[in-house]
Amino acid sequence: MANLHFHYGTMGCSKSAQLVINAYNQNKNGNKTEIIKPKIDNRFSEDKVNSRIGISAPATVLPTLQGWSPAPDTKMVLIDEIQFFSPEDINHLVRIADSQPVIIMCYGLMVDSNEHIFPASRRLIEVGAKLHRMESTCQIPGCMHLATHHLRFDSAGNVVREGAQIAVGDSNYKSVCRQHFNMLYHGIGNKGKGNR
């Protein structure tokens, strides 16, 4: 089994739920886990990974992964919202994965709402993490195509096309298919075809 994994998908595709379930199953089988989340992610809780479906698990909250190391008896580390860490943090995870008998499972977003890859996500690809795409459908009513992008809206419902890459929270975001992203963000495309 690969020792460094990246489970990625759009908002609402159950990344955090799968992390919590994975940790539960590993612990039930006698494999000690550690759950980590970035300090910036305080949407639902300061010290837990929370899923929108109502399950959660306690987490160690860190501003950076530099200087952190798993406990000697830890078999699996599960990291939520990996995109909020830095490329240097990913390099640190690589050193751990290559030198210790531990499996590292990262969960997070690949791209931001301007169609740019997060630096930490890019670094996971560059270092050869095993990729696992988690799928969900477009959140535009009536569309059942694969969600691949995010749209960010302001309080008036207008699409936001600039600003900070990292903005915590999801109340003004929608996960959408490529076609609806191009229609609403770029003003191109038509409703007759979709991204499947």
Active-site residue set: 81
Partner residues linked to 61 by β-bridges: 37
d(CA 172, CA 149): 14
Return left, alpha or beta for 12; rule: phi > 0 is left, psi -120 to 50 is alpha, else beta: left
What's the distance, CA 80 to chain centroid?
Answer: 6
d(CA 135, CA 34): 25
